[in-house]
Amino acid sequence: MIKNTLFLDALKGKHVERPPVWMMRQAGRFLPEFRALRDKYDFFTRCQNPELAAEITLMPVKRFPIDSAILFSDILVVPQAMGLNFEMKESIGPYLQNPITSQSDIDKLITPPIEESLGYVLEAITITKKSLNDEIPLIGFSGAPWTILCYAIEGKGSKTFDKAKSFCFKTPEKAHLLLQKITDYTIQYLLKKVEYGVDAIQIFDSWGGLLSPKDYEKFSWKYIDQIVESLAPKVPVIVFGKGCWYALQMMSRSKASAIGVDWTITPQQAREFTGDIITLQGNFDPAKLLSTPEIIYSEAQQMIRDFGVQRYIANLGHGILPNVPLQNAEAFIKAIVEFKE
């Protein structure tokens, strides 16, 4: 039995004395011990080595009194397993030499057994769970199919993902075929993660906010909802769509246990849009962690007052930035842990 159930209790809507806290990308570049490993091993080596992935997952757990760990990995391990050879290039980020452009490219995608193609992730879960010793829960995650499609079509990061959007608008049949393939394989992957012991799942839709509300429903939510439907009977699911405030009402009607929100919406609006019927997670602006510890502490506590203690998980509105000082991250977490109504 997990000793600290605060995170899981909040996901279930149970009464809590204070909100649980964790930070997106908490096992990341702002940690000096992470940077030391980065200098020794390239990004996907760190993802694909179970011992390294587990070690990185545990780094913030050893430093901060957080209420959940999140497995160190990447959303692109799924398309990699499907035959898309993503690399992580310096100053470029994710890079795919031969992006998907045609029906034949979609037809070539493979869906090997998860234990064969992504066994290193499952092994990392086993190692991490053993090291956590049931102190706190472990979150597993995946990218939303739309976000994966963006990288698969564009071949790299983009502010607008025009190629990906054009592909969807010009050839919607091909887009839906690709999205369904990604969705089916993602479901297999996440179910296997649950089988290996993760306690919750988060779905990251980093580029959902690039779509109009109508197109979001058509090209993104339709597929996220399939994942939620498949996973929800087995494990709590958090859906995080960056810039997708307009979809909160639709998301709140799903079987998700929680919805992540970014800083482009107020806590009060987020409660209103979701009818105050679901746990919310967020939404501290990561750039605000570059202010002073005193400001961070004060504003993080105000964030709790704005959201309310119940059905709330304190987090950032996106991933922590690599140049955030340790004492500032600590001030954020301390503000949540020390909160009293």
Average pLDDT per run of 10 along the chain, which is 341 residues long? 97 98 97 93 94 98 98 98 93 93 97 98 98 98 98 96 97 98 98 98 97 98 98 98 97 98 97 97 98 98 98 98 98 98 83
Q: Which residues are annotated as a binding site?
A: 25-29, 44, 74, 151, 206, 318
Which residue in the list 18, 25, 46, 271 is annotated as catalytic? 25
Q: What is the pLDDT of residue 205?
A: 98
Under 8 Å between Cβ of 209 and 241: yes
> What pLDDT does residue 91 have?
81
List the structure tokens of 234: 């087995």
Q: Are 68 and 138 in contact (CB under 8 A)?
A: yes
Please state, in angstroms and rounded to a whole number, the distance separating the CA atoms of residues 317 and 262.
4
* Residue listed under structure tokens 């430093």: 63
Q: State the Cα–Cα distance between residues 83 and 61, nearest whole angstrom.
A: 33
For residue 162, the SS3 value is helix
Q: Which residues of 155-169 are buried (b: 16+ CB within 10 A; e: fewer)?
A: bbebeebebbbebbe
How many Å apart are CA 317 and CA 206, to the nearest integer? 11
Domain boundaries, the chain: 6-337
The single residue of 18, 46, 67, 151 carrying the catalytic annotation is 151
For the chain, the residue count is 341
Asked whether 12 and 302 are in contact (CB, 8 A), the reply is no
Two tokens at 165? 């959007």
Distance CA 147, CA 153 (A): 10
Catalytic annotation present for 41 = no
Closest CA to 247 of 280, 274, 207: 274
Residues in a beta bridge with 258 = 238, 279
Cβ atoms of 73 and 120 within 8 Å: the answer is no
Contact (CB, 8 A) for 251 and 225: no
| pLDDT the model gives residue 105 | 98
Q: Is 182 left (phi over 0), alpha (psi -120 to 50) or beta?
A: alpha
Contact 140/71 with Cβ under 8 angstroms?
Answer: yes
In this structure, which amino acid lies at residue 24? M
Residues of 301-337 as b/e, b for ≥16 C-beta within 10 angstroms? bebbeebebebbbbbbbbbbbeebeeebbbbbbbbbb
pLDDT confidence of residue 90: 81
Report the C-alpha gap between 327 and 325 in whole angstroms.
5
CATH no. of 6-337: 3.20.20.210
Catalytic residue among 9, 29, 105, 184: 29
Does the annotation mark 105 as catalytic?
no
Q: Residue positions in the annotated binding site for substrate?
A: 25-29, 44, 74, 151, 206, 318
User: Which 3 state secondary structure label does DSSP give 95?
Assistant: strand
CB 270 within 8 A of CB 291: no
CB 24 within 8 A of CB 318: yes
Catalytic entry in 38, 120, 184, 215: 38
Rounded CA-CA distance 27/269 in Å is 30
**What DSSP element (H or E) covers 295?**
helix 293-307
Among residues 18, 46, 74, 185, the one annotated as catalytic is: 74
Active site (annotated) includes residue 74 = yes
